[in-house]
Amino acid sequence: MDTHAPNSPKALAGLTLGAIGVVYGDIGTSVLYALKEVFANGHVPLTPQNVLGILSLVFWTLTVIVSLKYVVLILRADNNGEGGLIAMLALATTAVKDRPPVRRRLLVLGLFGTAIFFGDGVITPAISVLSAVEGLDVAAPGLSHYVVPLTLVVLTVLFIVQRHGTGGIGRFFGPVTAAWFIAIALLGIMHLVRNPSVLQALLPHHAVGFVLRQPGTAFVALGAVVLCVTGAEALYADLGHFGKLPIRLAWFGMVWPALVLNYFGQGALLLTDPTTVKNPFYEMAPPWALYPLIVLATLATVIASQALITAAFSVTKQAMQLGFVPRLRVLHTSIRAAGQIYVPFVNWALYVCIVVAVLAFKSSSALASAYGIAVTIDMTITTVMTFFVIRYGWKLPLPLCVAATGVFFAVDFVFFAANAVKLLEGGWFPLLIGAAMFLLMMTWKQGRALMTARVREESIELKVFLESIFISPPQRVSGTAVFMNNEKDSTPFALLHNLKHNKVLHEQNLFVTVRHHEVPWIGFDRRCEVEPLGHDCWQVVLHFGFKNDPDVPEALELLGGRGIQLDPMETSYFLSRDIVVPSLGGGMALWREKLFAGLHRNASGAADFLNLPANRIVELGSKVVI
C-alpha cells in the first residue's frame, strides 16, 4: 500500500509534476552526454549497424534497469513510505537481525554505498552543468574557452543560494523540467520523421547482435551506455517525498518516452550526418533554437544538481541520526516543510570537490569516465540489499528471489566491470571521495562503539546508585533536572559531577536516553517510555526515527499525562561533554583513534542536535580513554 497516495486528481497531478522536477532531473539531462560519449572517443566505429546496436542497448538498459528494476521492483521496498540507500540498509539489516555476521557485512556494504553516493554527488553537478554550457562549442566555437569559467560561475551561485532554501523557487522545478522533457522529445521527433528506420533498434536482436559481433567493442561501449541511467537511484531516494504512483506516472507518462525519442533522434541524426558526432544533442537543434536550448539545458542541469545537493543534506542527516557520521550543524530553511534543511559543512565540502573536479577534468567527456563507476557501484549494492529484503523480510521463496534479483545483478555487474577499466582515466576520483567518506564513517561508528563500551565499564548501575544516595539523601532544591544519558540503566557522569560539586539534588530528576531507530518515522504515541525509580526520579527513553527531528523538550511535554509535570522555566538540562583520549593497544589503530578524537571534538553540540533550550543547559566535562 502506498502511504503517500494522493487523495484527489489535482493532488496526483501536483505530485507527478513535482516528481518530474525533482526525481528525474538527473536522468533527464543524461541525453546531453550519454550517446556522445559512446562514439566520441573513437572506440566504437560510427557505422549504421553500430548506431542501431547502441540505440537498442540504450533502450533496453532504460527498460531493464529503470522501468523493471527501480520502477516496478525497488519502489515496492519502502521503509514506512521512505526510500533511499539508508532506508534500504535499515530494511535489509532488520530482515537479517537474527544473522549477526550477515547483518555486519550488509551494514559495511550499505555504508560503503552511502559513501560512494557522495562521490556521485560531486560528479553529477560537475558533468551536468559542464555538458549544458558546452553547447557554446556548437553555437559559437569561438566562445569555447568560456565554458569552464561559466560553469564555475553557475555552480558557485547554486551553492551560495543553498542557505536560503529552495521553497520559493522549488515550485518552478516541475514546470521547467517538464518543458525540458517536451523540448528534447520534440527534437527527437524532428529527426525521427526524417529517418524513421532507427526505430527498428527497439527490437532487442540489434543489441544482442552488436554484442555478439564485437564483444570487446561492446564491453567498452557499455561503460558509456550506462550513463543513460545516471540518476535512477533518485527514483528510490525520493520515494518519501512523492510516493510510488506519481513517480511511476511521471516515468511512464513523460520521462521514458521523451528520453527514448531523444536518443533515437540523436541516432537518426548520426545516420544522416556522421560529422555531428562531436555533440549530437546540440547538433539536433536548428540554429535559431541553440541559445534558448543552452539556457533551458543549463536550468535543467541546475535543477538536477539542486535535487542531488538536497539529497546529500538529507542522507547526511539520516546517517548522523543513525550514528554513522558526527553531529553537524543543520539549519531548517522552511518553517512549513521540515524536510527542507541546509547543512553548511556538507554544502561547502561538496562545492570545493566539484570545483576541483571541473578544473581537473575540464570537459564532460573527461568526467564521463569518472561518472559511471560511482553509479554502477550504488546500483549493484542496491540490488544485493534488495535480495535480502525480499528473501528474509518479505519471506519470498528462494528461487523467486534469485530470479527477481539475479538478472539485475548480472546486468549491474557487467556495467560495473565495463566502467572499472576506466579506473585510471578518472574513475579513481569518485572512488577516492567515497573511500575517504567510508573511512570517516567506519572510524566514527567504531569509535562510538569503543566509547560506549568504556563508559559502560566505568559506570555505576543507576538504580543501585540512587538507592545508596537516598540512604542519606542530599539537599533537594526546587525544579526539575533532566540528565541526558547515552546508556540506559547507567548513572550519568553529569549526575556524579553535580553531586560532587554542588552537593544537591533537584525535586524531580529525569534520566533521559535518546534512541534512534532504523525506521524513518516514529509517532508521538510511541515516543516516550517511562519507568519510575522512586523518590521523584524517572528513567525516560525517547524514540525517534531516522527522519524525525529529535526534540527532547517537545517529547518530554508528553509526560504530562503520566504524572510528571514539567515547568520549562524550572527545568535544567545536564549534559556530559566527553573528551576522548586515544591510547595504544586495543581498539583501533592509534591514528584512527586520533582521527575519531578530532571528529568528536569538532562535532556539533548535543544540545543543538536535541533542540535543548540554550539558557537552561549545564554541561559538565569528563575524560574517556579509548
Contacts of 278 (CB under 8 A, 6+ apart): 36, 40, 137
Over residues 154-177, mean pLDDT: 79
Residue 173: pLDDT band (50, 70, 90) is confident
Amino acid making up residue 331: L
Q: Are residues 359 and 212 in the same domain?
A: yes
Examine the domain organization and report whether 353 and 282 are in the same domain.
yes
How far apart (Å, rounded) are the C-alpha atoms in residues 280 and 257? Answer: 19
Average pLDDT over residues 438-452: 89
Give the highest mean pLDDT range of 98-102, 163-167, 188-192, 372-376. Answer: 188-192
Instruction: Please identify which residue in the block is written with the cell numbers 552543468.
Output: 129
Where do the DSSP E strands lie in 268-414?
331-332, 341-342
Question: Is 351 part of a structural domain of the chain?
Answer: yes
- pTM for the whole thing? 0.82
Q: Of 446, 468, 494, which one is at a domain's C-terminal end?
A: 446
Q: Out of 69-83, 163-177, 589-603, pick the least confident.
A: 163-177
pLDDT of residue 170: 64
Residue with cell 546500483: 379
pLDDT score for 6? 62
Residues 403 and 518 in one domain: no
Residues 475 and 417 in one domain: no
Cβ pair 325, 516 in contact under 8 A: no
The β-bridge partners of 624 are 580
Nearest to 20 by CA among 184, 230, 248: 248
| DSSP string for residues in 221-243 | HHHHHGGGGTTTHHHHHTHHHH-
Q: Looking at residues 71-75, what average pLDDT do you find?
A: 88
Residues 519 and 429 in one domain: no
Higher pLDDT, 166 or 443: 443
In a domain? residue 10:
no
- CA distance between the termini of the chain: 47
Give the Cα separation of 347 and 585 in Å (integer): 37
What Å distances lie between residue 34 and 27, 57, 131, 218, 267, CA to CA? 10, 12, 10, 15, 12
Rounded to the nearest 5 degrees, what angle is found at the Cα of 447, between the Cα atoms of 82 and 438?
55
Burial of residue 145 (CB within 10 Å: 0-12, 13-18, 19+) is exposed
- Are the beta carbons of 201 and 57 closer than 8 angstroms? no
**16 within domain boundaries:** no
Give percent of the chain above pLDDT 90: 30
How are beta strands 537-545 and 617-625 bridged, if at all? unpaired
Task: Determine the average pLDDT of the residues in 380-387.
Answer: 92
Burial class (CB in 10 A: 0-12, 13-18, 19+), 186: middle
Residues in the chain: 626
| Residue 581 near residue 623, CB atoms below 8 Å | yes
Give, for 543, the enclosing helix (H) or strand (E). strand 537-545
pLDDT at 3 over 50: no
In this prediction, residue 168 carries a pLDDT of: 56
**What average pLDDT score do residues 155-172 get?**
76
- What pLDDT digit, counting tens, does each position of 83-94 carry? 778 888 888 888
Are the CB atoms for 33 and 227 separated by under 8 Å? Answer: yes
Averaged pLDDT for residues 12-36: 87
In angstroms, the CA 498 to CA 448 distance is 25
488 and 525 housed in the same domain: yes
Give me the mean pLDDT over the 372-380 stretch.
Answer: 87
Strand-pairing partners, residue 544, are: 516
Residues 498 and 350 in one domain: no
Q: Which amino acid is at 43?
A: H
pLDDT band (50, 70, 90) for residue 470: confident
For residue 339, the model assigns a pLDDT of 56
Select from 323, 230, 285, 267 the least CA-distant residue to 44. 267
Please state the rounded mean pLDDT for residues 341-347.
87
Q: Are residues 431 and 484 in the same domain?
A: no
pLDDT at 334: 61
Q: Taking 70 as the threshold, does the pLDDT of residue 598 lie above it? A: yes
Same domain, 271 and 329: yes
Residue 2 lies in a domain: no
Last-in-domain residue among 446, 469, 494: 446
In a domain, 363, yes or no: yes
Percent of the chain scoring above 70 in pLDDT = 96
Distances (CA, A) of 136 to 40, 151, 155, 156: 17, 11, 17, 19
Q: What is the mean pLDDT of the chain?
A: 86
**What letter does residue 82 receive in the DSSP assignment?**
B
Say if residue 138 is exposed, middle or buried (CB neighbours under 10 Å; 0-12, 13-18, 19+).
Answer: buried
Q: Domain range for residue 516? A: 459-625
Exposure string of 431-453, with b = 16+ CB inside 10 Å and e = fewer, is bebbeebbebbbbbbbbbebbee
End residue of a domain, out of 446, 475, 494? 446
Q: Quick count: other Cβ atoms within 10 Å of Cβ 508?
A: 21
Q: Environment class of residue 403 by beta-carbon count within 10 Å: exposed (0-12), middle (13-18) or buried (19+)?
A: exposed
pLDDT at 7: 63
Give the position of cell 551494514. 107
pLDDT at 183 over 90: yes
Q: How far is CA 501 from CA 70, 79, 355, 607, in A?
A: 59, 47, 52, 22
| H helix runs in 398-472, sequence order | 398-420, 428-458, 462-469
- Are 439 and 578 within one domain? no
Q: Where are the alpha helices (DSSP H) in 45-99?
A: 48-61, 85-95
**Domain assignment present for 19:** no
Task: Check the CA dihedral 90-95-97-100 and report its sign.
Answer: negative
The CATH number given to whatever domain includes residue 221 is: 1.20.1740.10
Residue in 523, 434, 540, 431 with CA at minimum distance from that of residue 481? 540
**What is the DSSP pairing of strand 571-581 with strand 475-484?**
parallel
Lowest-pLDDT range, 82-91, 121-130, 148-157, 431-440?
A: 82-91
As a whole number, mean pLDDT of residues 562-572 equals: 84
395 and 463, same domain (yes or no) = no
Number of domains into which the chain is organized: 2
109 pLDDT more than 70:
yes
Res. 586 pLDDT band, cuts 50 70 90: low
Q: What is the pLDDT of residue 304?
A: 86
Per-residue confidence (pLDDT) for residue 296, from 0 to 100? 94
pLDDT of 139 above 70 = yes
Rounded CA-CA distance 314/574 in Å is 29
**Bridge pairing between strands 475-484 and 341-342:** unpaired
Contact 210, 56 (CB under 8 A): yes
Q: How confident is the model at residue 167 (pLDDT cuts 50, 70, 90)?
A: low
Please give the pLDDT value at position 263: 96
For 250-254, which contacts have Cβ atoms below 8 Å and span 24 or more sequence positions?
250/16, 250/17, 250/19, 250/20, 250/23, 250/24, 251/24, 251/66, 251/67, 251/71, 252/67, 252/71, 253/16, 254/20, 254/178, 254/181
Do 421 and 535 belong to one domain? no
Tens of pLDDT, residue by residue over 492-546, are 888 888 888 888 889 999 999 999 887 778 888 889 989 898 888 999 999 998 7
Asked, for residue 128, whether it belongs to a domain, the answer is: yes
In a domain, 71, yes or no: yes
